[in-house]
A and B are shown apart, each in its own frame.
Chain A
Amino acid sequence: MCFEKVIRELSGVILTRGPKLCNFVEWRGYKVVYKRYASLYFCMCIDQEDNELEVLEIIHHYVEILDRYFGSVCELDLIFNFHKAYYILDELLIAGELQEPSKKTVARLIAAQDSLVETAKEEASSISNIIAQATK
């Protein structure tokens, strides 16, 4: 099933649910756990046997890390930094399993990656570098 269809179908299901309902929806033999933070919805699709409350905690965990990283995260942060949101998620989960329960560690790892990128970027974008490359 294509990604787009999943997203559309699920947003239809989840957005129509009012507030103060439970955060679980049954969907095509799976369960979808979702949580709303202001205008942001976070959804996770899990097996029937998975622990819903644990998944809610994972979502919350993720949001807290995002919050710490961006400084009170909002929709715009995620729109402009969607790839970073993915990188952070990658540090949190692997193969669908929680790999890192410590917020601090995730923050540290992301910072390490960023600094590596920053130094590279500085090198790459320095004028002399570009000219050197162009006149090669």
Chain B
Amino acid sequence: MAGSSLMETFFQRTLEDLIKGLRLQLIGESASISKAMDEIRREIKSTDPHTKSTALQKLSYLSSLYFYDMSWASFHVVEVMSSTRFAHKRIAYHAASHSFDESTPVLVLITNQLRKDLTSTNELEVSLALECLSRIATVDLASDLTPEVFTLLSSSKVFVRKKAIGVVLRVFEKYPDSVRVCFKRLVENLEGSDSQILSVTVGVFCELASKDPRSYLPLAPEFYRILVDSRNNWVLIKVLKIFAKLAALEPRLAKKVVEPICDHMKRTGAKSLMFECIRTVVTSLADYESAVKLAVTKIRELLIDDDPNLKYLALQALSIVAPNHLWAVVENKEVVIKSLSDGDPSIKLESLRLVMMMVSESNVAEISRVLLNYALKSDPEFCNEILGSILSTCCRNVYEIIIDFDWYVSLLGEMSRIPHCQKGDEIEKQLIDIGMRVNDVKLELVRVARDLLIDPALLGNPFLHRILSAAAWVSGEYVEFSRNPFELVEALLQPRTNLLPPLIRAVYLQSAFKVLVFCLHSYLLQSGIVASTTCPDNLAPNVLEVLSDKDHPEGTDLAPHDASAHSKQEEGFNPRVLNQSSEDLPIEYGEEASAGHGQAATVDSLERNNFNYESIMNMLNLIELAVAPLLGSLDVEVQERAGNMLSFIELVRKKMLDSLAQKEDSLDRDRTEVSEIIEMMNDAFSNELGPVSVTAQLRVPVPDGLLLKQNLEDLETICPDVQPPSLNSFSFGSLHSEERDGDSLPILPKKEESQSSNESTSLLSEHRKRHGLYYLPSEKNEIGSNDYPPANDLKSESNMNYDAEDLVKLTDLSLVPKTKPNHAKTRPVVVKLDEGDQWPLAAKLQPKEASLSGAVRDVLLGSDTKSLSQSKPSDESSNRRKGKEKLNVDSPSESKEKLDDVEQRDGENPSSRKTKHHKHGKERRHRSTGNVVDKGDENVQKGMQNSSHRHGKHKARQKTDVAMNVVPQTQVIPDFLL
């Protein structure tokens, strides 16, 4: 044994040998590493501490540079750690802080070793142990070693003391009770004169305060002294960070620190300190006009600096200041917009965020146009960032900033055609959502959908499939607004639809079915077989309203190109249907045409929708031809719909033929029968859909025996492809169920709604089936063979010639704030639900933090009563009372919101609040029925304005709630210090 150990010692490769060997690569990297690992495994078992520690050092080298696992050696680490030599100890401590984590089993073995080293007379050993503890301390280690750390906090050696102060951070985090022991000494270090100690202590307080600032308010006078006296930039930056947190909580404090901060900002030459001053002012002192002005001047200096770092930070500071002081952004808009074409992705992203902040209802059109042109030119990633931010900005608060929905819908269509567009899901969602919420836009929506459907090239792009699915649904659902239903049927059944994934194909089929039913019904209406009086509730009257070519003056640069492309396609596409010359039976339904249209609805003859017998028959033939092969589809959705459609056609065709044979008897029995069938189908589809509250599902009582909390993770392994339905989708609940709920009845200006709802209850099941079709999750990964040219090949180079200068000019007009927009159009009614359009933010509970801050507060309050006897109890109670009043004021409006988390937290609260919340569950139904009754258009508008703030308030309110709950006694900063 002794012999082999001797040999090993002589012939062991050192770390340097190992590295040299690896770099020479005589036998290849992995081979030489595995050889080295074999050596290490042998050597590390050696009894000679030198051999052992060298092996350990080599192992940690391989582990940190080549990511080899070294957890197997953790016991050896502990062994080497107990060596008496510093050189070995150092290697072991390094290995431990590198490889140990919470789950390392041998951690329990090192407590004593650490204790021994912490109390060692050699300060370097103490330092090793402290460094290691700062990395690996667990709850147990922290609690066991608190006394040692406490002793070291007042060590006479600065070198040791500052490390002990640093370690306190980790110890507090793991073991909050240690605060009771150590906190006072930590505070004493804050008062000391040594600059090194001060720097570390302030750093620790900065970290602590960032998690829970309120607890450290009593220390504000100390920090203030440092802010004024210190000339050390490292320290000042940390103190500023602390004040950024504290000033937000205590207005008197904010007033006090504004001046010194501004002084620092003016005086300092260090950019890091200056930037920290700026950030503190814009985040926490935004109410002090002069300070903000100064900060914005400094931001401007940074913005025009050549250093990209400063530019980036300046943009970031602007985005912080923007919500309260938009003028600061507008002043610098030139630089901001130019930064959109910066070479640096980080800078581009920041400037995009800023541009989006400038968006208002008066300039949304211009800005979107500018951004779309940038999107056309940029790389795919940034292009999608742009599209994403336009989409999310525009749909905020139920399309709050959109006045002209026609424009917006055509913008969505345009976005879909941008080559890199990958925002299919979002565009799909919005197209459908707008269709359901905004009645007046349906005409344009159908036009946009038709343009998308009819372009065969788009089918080849899998990113667009979701959009196409929305387009198909829209054109089926609102087919009455279509100018040419025949064309739609052909588009929906065109051969290239085989490129679609089956579930979207099913949507196509269902839409084609709806169009078919609509055409048949219109045909019957036209030939006077169905008297229009028999169906007062259906939408047929609107249906036949044909609007003249709509031109969009605000519309699109791409429009000319699109239009020409389409007219070309149209010709090749449906020669049969283009025989409009044979027009017959002009029927006027103008009186009932929707009056709410912004555009002059030109009532016209049915120039294109000539539902004559021949065209209907052509359509039936076409559908039969296209759908028949789908009976053999492997996907049940497609197969079933194809089956339904074909049987329906068969039924109708037979009757129609029969009736044709006896054409003279126009009111023949058969004919009546067929009209009845068609009318029933039409009724089934004629019911309008409305948006559904996202919280609707929550109101459905959970059936017995259903475990909602069951862990379904196993399912993922079985069916990994199925995506969970998105939260925002409109669920199965139909209009009627909502009405019954007494909640959030969408405002639909149509009178027919209420009437139709009676009749159509019987059709509910059919309705649901149709509805359900749409919301099936779909798979995106199926891509058919794609031999067509790539979709969205935009040739219109003319759009691209925007220079940054042009853009600046363009936005010049639009970015001027507070110019009253001169709307040519009035905003159409947008259906908005009272609650549940957005999910309430879930508040996070942080028990650990709470316990830590609780401990800190105990200590601080304890010391307060002793050292700061001026804190008046009366003041305290008044503060408390204020807090309570606030709660009372808040709670009525709060009961509208869903605050489950708060409810949970209320367990710790006075019972009065608890009961209130319980009541609120019951009250909700009452309340919302009330809302429905008096809801008119004005209310909706008002709701929209209010709701823009709701979210923010909600969050803030929750925050204060948390604070109130945790701190029953608010600390008071002694006035004399402020």
Q: Do A and B bind each other?
A: yes
Bound Cα distance from A21 to B344, whole angstroms: 6
B-side contacts of A47, CB under 8 Å:
210
A-side contacts of B312, CB under 8 Å:
22, 24
Please tell me if B337 contacts chain A, counting CB pairs below 8 Å: no
- CB within 8 Å of B: which A59-107 residues: 79-80, 82-83, 86-87, 90, 94-102, 105
Tell me the nearest residue of chain B to A117, going by C-beta.
B87
**5 nearest A-B pairs in the assembled complex, by CB-CB distance:** A94-B166, A53-B272, A97-B203, A22-B308, A4-B67
Please tell me if B888 contacts chain A, counting CB pairs below 8 Å: no
Please tell me if B196 contacts chain A, counting CB pairs below 8 Å: yes
Q: Are B344 and A134 in contact (CB under 8 A)?
A: no
Bound Cα distance from A22 to B272, whole angstroms: 15
Please tell me if A10 contacts chain B, counting CB pairs below 8 Å: no
| Highest count of chain B CB atoms <10 Å: which of A90, A94, A96 | A94
Supply 6 A–B pairs (Cβ within 8 Å), ascending by A. Answer: A24-B313, A24-B346, A94-B131, A109-B127, A120-B87, A121-B87
Q: Are A130 and B9 in contact (CB under 8 A)?
A: yes
Q: Are B162 and A99 in contact (CB under 8 A)?
A: yes
Shortest C-beta distance, B90 to chain A (Å), equals 7
Please tell me if A56 contacts chain B, counting CB pairs below 8 Å: yes
B-side contacts of A54, CB under 8 Å:
234, 237, 272, 276
The 8 Å CB contact of A116, one of B6, B9, B86, is B86
Please tell me if A112 contacts chain B, counting CB pairs below 8 Å: yes
A25-B346, A53-B272, A136-B2 known; A94 and B65 CB under 8 Å? no
Tell me the nearest residue of chain B to A101, going by C-beta.
B234
Tell me the nearest residue of chain A to B240, going by C-beta.
A51
A-side contacts of B347, CB under 8 Å:
21-22
Shortest C-beta distance, B169 to chain A (Å), equals 5
Q: Are A99 and B166 in contact (CB under 8 A)?
A: yes
Please tell me if B124 contacts chain A, counting CB pairs below 8 Å: yes
- CB within 8 Å of A: which B53-78 residues: 57, 60-61, 64-65, 67
The 8 Å CB contact of B166, one of A49, A53, A97, A121, is A97
Q: Are B241 and A51 in contact (CB under 8 A)?
A: yes
Bound Cα distance from A25 to B350, whole angstroms: 12
Bound Cα distance from A53 to B233, whole angstroms: 12
The 8 Å CB contact of A113, one of B5, B86, B200, B309, is B86
B-side contacts of A96, CB under 8 Å:
169, 207
Bound Cα distance from A109 to B127, whole angstroms: 10
Q: Are B6 and A130 in contact (CB under 8 A)?
A: yes
Q: Are B124 and A112 in contact (CB under 8 A)?
A: yes
Q: Are A51 and B90 in contact (CB under 8 A)?
A: no
Bound Cα distance from A39 to B130, whole angstroms: 33
B-side contacts of A4, CB under 8 Å:
67
| CB 8 Å contact bits of B288-328 with A (1 = contact, 0 = none) | 00000000000000000000110111000000000000000
A-side contacts of B345, CB under 8 Å:
21
| Highest count of chain B CB atoms <10 Å: which of A101, A102, A135 | A101
A-side contacts of B241, CB under 8 Å:
49, 51
A97-B203, A120-B85 known; A21 and B346 CB under 8 Å? yes
Please tell me if B275 contacts chain A, counting CB pairs below 8 Å: yes
Main secondary structure of the interface of B (DSSP, over half): helix
Please tell me if B271 contacts chain A, counting CB pairs below 8 Å: yes
Q: Are B67 and A3 in contact (CB under 8 A)?
A: yes
Tell me the nearest residue of chain A to B22, going by C-beta.
A79
Q: Are A94 and B234 in contact (CB under 8 A)?
A: no
Q: Are B309 and A24 in contact (CB under 8 A)?
A: yes
Q: Are B57 and A83 in contact (CB under 8 A)?
A: yes
A-side contacts of B276, CB under 8 Å:
51, 54
A18-B343, A102-B196 known; A117 and B162 CB under 8 Å? no
A22-B308, A130-B9 known; A87 and B232 CB under 8 Å? no
Shortest C-beta distance, A124 to chain B (Å), equals 5
B-side contacts of A20, CB under 8 Å:
308, 343
Interface size class of B (residues with CB under 8 A): 35 or more
The 8 Å CB contact of B162, one of A25, A90, A100, A112, is A100
Please tell me if B803 contacts chain A, counting CB pairs below 8 Å: no
Tell me the nearest residue of chain B to A79, going by C-beta.
B19
Q: Are B309 and A53 in contact (CB under 8 A)?
A: yes
Q: A56-B309, A117-B90 are in contact. List 16 more A-B contacts (CB 8 A).
A: A24-B346, A53-B309, A54-B272, A57-B272, A82-B65, A94-B162, A95-B134, A95-B166, A95-B170, A98-B199, A99-B166, A101-B196, A101-B199, A116-B124, A130-B9, A136-B2
Please tell me if B50 contacts chain A, counting CB pairs below 8 Å: yes
Q: Are A94 and B159 in contact (CB under 8 A)?
A: no
Q: Are B94 and A23 in contact (CB under 8 A)?
A: no
B-side contacts of A120, CB under 8 Å:
85-87
Shortest C-beta distance, A82 to chain B (Å), equals 6
| CB 8 Å contact bits of B149-177 with A (1 = contact, 0 = none) | 00000000001001100110110000000
B-side contacts of A102, CB under 8 Å:
196
Shortest C-beta distance, A29 to chain B (Å), equals 14
A4-B67, A98-B203 known; A26 and B346 CB under 8 Å? yes
Q: Are A98 and B234 in contact (CB under 8 A)?
A: yes
| CB 8 Å contact bits of B165-204 with A (1 = contact, 0 = none) | 0110110000000000000000000000000100110011
Q: Are B309 and A94 in contact (CB under 8 A)?
A: no
Please tell me if A128 contacts chain B, counting CB pairs below 8 Å: no
Please tell me if B934 contacts chain A, counting CB pairs below 8 Å: no
Please tell me if B16 contacts chain A, counting CB pairs below 8 Å: yes
Tell me the nearest residue of chain A to B199, going by C-beta.
A101
| CB 8 Å contact bits of A4-39 with B (1 = contact, 0 = none) | 100100000000001011111110000000000000
| Highest count of chain B CB atoms <10 Å: which of A3, A4, A99, A134 | A99
| Highest count of chain A CB atoms <10 Å: which of B166, B206, B275, B311 | B166
